[in-house]
A and B are shown apart, each in its own frame.
Chain A
Amino acid sequence: MKIRNLTKTLVAALLAVPLVSGIANAYELTIPSFDYRTGPYAPNGIPFANGYGDYMNMLNARDGGINGTKLKLLPCETAYNTKRGVECYENVKNQGESGAVAIQPLSTGITYQLIPKASVDEIPIFSMGYGRTSAANGKIFPWVFNFPATYWSQATVFVQYIGEEEGGMDKLKGKKIALVYHNSAYGKEPIRTLESAAKKYGFEFMALPVDHPGQEQKATWLQIRKERPDWVLMWGWGVMNQVAIKEAASIRYPMDHFIGVWWSGSENDVLPAGEAADGYLSGAFHKPGDDFPAHRDIKKYLYDKGKGLGELDRIGEVLYNRGLVAAMWTSEAIRKAMEIHGTNEVTGKHVRDGFEALDVDEARLSELGLPDFTIPVKITCENHEGPGKAALQQWDAKKKQWIFVTDFYEPLRDITGPLIAEDSAQYAAENNVTARDCN
């Protein structure tokens, strides 16, 4: 009996040796994942990291990677802290044969840090719907992609929604719109856009900063109670979101006049306020829910085998899907890069070309098991923002569900266009960057 076991083990070991060395030799694509599962932003960082990682792992389990090339997910904990982000970046960028093929920094601060480095290290940065808005100008920022829409586009979408609710854009005149924002580079992004919009449509704009981490907002909401703005917009993240929604509820601010950015619209943000959060609105560029074939595959190939990164019942939360859609676009860019360069052994340099030629339309989304999940995206050399469209979703506290309440709006490009040109020109001047030719 013992001897038989021993032989079995030996045979297994012998069989395993070539297998192991075989795996070690195969070309793998290093996909870093900048997580934050600790710190004040963890409630939002965890579902995103799970969605991002699960999709990549599912591709490995279901298809053996992308075109047969395995993906190696490389998590690194940043705690949403720029200094740790630097360490993570240096740590991951040269790992594996491919080096990091694309970086999703998931923090505006870290994105700003990495933008100048990306072109030197030849690693594309995919700051999906965050980071530096003027990176939408592909002529100045060839290595940065911020599709499917930027903060500035989103701010103009909110203005349009408010206009519609008020009964026409001309009715905006004399209205008062407040912005409650995270007092950092991230939160300050929309201010200029909203100021331009205020000038154009004649509404009054007030900006109310909330300092990191955002647990203390009594003064801010006292001011809102005093000034009674007609609408309140919020650029928040992490624990700040929950606190703001609870504070809004406590001063009985009408929730359907309170709109959060798409980083302030997940289950984590509204659940603590309970029933009072009913009717709260937020921006969105993809659907919530787990009723898509891709989600079923994730459950089948990962969670049924106990390999999922998160909890089964949290699949399909807004931020989980946000991570998933980021992984989907990244993997499609890698696939595109393989197609363009005719090799499976792509590196960051190739994947940049993949991002720039990305074209995920409705038909492709259905093939990927995500029909009608998000907007079609087509990237060109000069436009790294893609469609720039956003919709609004509303929280139904009884059903505990986010529901899409509008179609996708086109952004007001007459407002964002000049601002993007101005800001990217300033960056180019400060850093001696010459615009590349896109024709």
Chain B
Amino acid sequence: MIYRETGQFKDSYSDDQALFPIAQDRYVIYAVLFVTFVVVPMLANEYWVNAILLPFLIYSLAALGLNILTGYCGQVSLGTGGFMAVGAFSVYKLMVAFPELGFIPLVIISGFITAAVGTLFGLPSLRIKGFYLAVATLAAQFFLVWLFNKVGWFVNYNATGMITSPPMTLFGVLITGPQAPPVAKYLLCATIVAIFALAAKNLARGRLGRNWMAIRDMDIAAELIGVRPLMAKLSAFAVSSFYIGMAGALYFAVWLGSAEPTEAFDINQSFLVLFMIIIGGLGSVLGSFLGAAFLVIMPILLKNIMVDGFGTNTALAAHIEIMTIGVLIIAFLIVEPHGLARLWRIAKEKMRLWPFPY
């Protein structure tokens, strides 16, 4: 009744090809942006920003990146942690060497550096597929983390191998380092994530995105209709790594503030982001956000309910939390193998018919 495009007439091509052709969808997006940029900054306190919102936004960006590669182009990757490390160490080196360039350009440059590294590790994808590719990207994960841990140049010869983000400002406001106001950090990440989420949505429906999906659905058929697998696969690796690299840069510089390669970027990181897109929904921009929200917020929520709400012993709460998350993942995959995004799509279909389902 409410969610129906009846009566919305499009009288130009640009209207017809809009990112969100249905007016109701546009209103929802405006509402979400309003909440993100106006309501949340007014309400959020330091705990919310540092413990929940920043990791949610940063993991969303990483999940978006992996979703481009795995969800849209069908190339399984277990190298996310390693690529995030490339982004983090690039931004660290750049922040120390060229602070005058400003933070956002540095984040974008680190994205490009990661894209180059990602393309390099994407080369094997032309010959190997499926699980074997997963193993090849796993090698990238271990190699990159080993490299950053081993070579002193990446950490500016720090004795302990830790990198710490120096304080930087944007429009005169601190955005990295401990003195930075949480709202500034949040707004910075939210802006970057919002822009690149829209970019991803646009990419996915354009020629490049269609090439990727053709490769994903059947690579031989795609080749026959004229999609070049070399370009499609490598561009997917490049774009995906670009996103993941930026996520890694924000993860280190804005959220954590200091990091060591072995712990912050270990294999668990790769699995976490992969689980996010599987649970959220492969090949869906919304799914990346839903998956990140599920895996970032759910453990904290469970912990707070059990420890602060019921006074459960912290160790018991931690164990229950691990088990609950595991059960929920399995339950979701049984009920809806296409992820949370698919649930949303079903809900939308139902809403279109409501109140007269046939």
Contacts and interface: CB of A to CB of B under 8 A. Distances in A.
Contacts of B94: none
B87 to A, nearest CB: 17
B260 A185 contact: yes
A94 B256 CA distance: 19
A112 B164 contact: yes
Nearest to A193: B159
A90 interface: yes
Contact of B159 (A76, A87, A188): A188
A430 B166 contact: yes
B178 A116 contact: yes
A346 B257 CA distance: 29
A179 to B, nearest CB: 14
Contact of A116 (B177, B303, B315): B177
A79 B160 contact: no
Contacts of B166: 430-431
Given A35-B315, A38-B319, A212 B262 contact: yes
Q: How large is the interface on A (under 10, 10 to 19, 20 to 34, 35 or more residues)?
A: 35 or more
B139 interface: no
A86 interface: yes
Contacts of A423: 159
B324 interface: no
Interface residues of B, number: 37
A108 B318 CA distance: 21
A35 B314 contact: yes
A77 B315 CA distance: 7
Interface stretch (B14-22, B43-51, B329-337): B43-51
B256 A82 contact: yes
A117 interface: yes
A75 interface: yes
Contacts of A86: 50-51, 255-256
The main secondary structure of chain B at its interface with chain A is: helix
Nearest to A152: B159
B36 interface: no
A120 interface: yes
Contacts of A37: 314-315, 318
Interface in A179-208: 183-186, 188-189, 191-192
Interface in A81-96: 81-83, 86-87, 90-91, 94
Contacts, number: 96
Contacts of B50: 86-87, 90
A25 interface: no
Given A77-B317, A86-B50, A211-B262, A113 B159 contact: no
B314 A76 contact: yes
A430 B164 contact: yes
A185 B317 contact: no
A303 B74 CA distance: 58
Nearest to B49: A90
A75 B314 contact: yes
B40 interface: no
Residue of A83, A183, A189 with most chain B CB atoms under a 10 A cut-off: A83
B102 to A, nearest CB: 18
A189 B263 contact: no
A211 B266 CA distance: 11
B79 interface: no
A90 B46 contact: yes
A189 B300 contact: no
A246 B333 CA distance: 42
Contacts of A76: 307, 314
Contacts of A212: 262-263, 266
13 contacts: A38-B319, A75-B314, A77-B303, A82-B259, A82-B264, A86-B255, A94-B46, A112-B162, A184-B161, A184-B263, A188-B160, A191-B159, A212-B266
Interface of A: 35, 37-38, 46, 75-77, 79, 81-83, 86-87, 90-91, 94, 108-109, 112-113, 116-117, 119-120, 132, 183-186, 188-189, 191-192, 211-212, 423, 426, 430-432
Interface of B: 46-47, 50-51, 55, 96, 149, 158-162, 164, 166-167, 177-179, 255-260, 262-264, 266, 300, 303, 307, 314-315, 317-319, 322
Q: Top 7 A-B pairs ranked by shortest CB distance? A: A37-B315, A185-B160, A116-B178, A77-B314, A87-B51, A117-B178, A38-B318
Given A86-B50, A132-B160, 20 more contacts: A75-B314, A82-B256, A83-B55, A83-B256, A90-B50, A91-B47, A94-B46, A113-B258, A116-B164, A116-B177, A116-B257, A117-B257, A183-B149, A184-B260, A184-B262, A184-B263, A185-B162, A188-B161, A211-B262, A426-B158
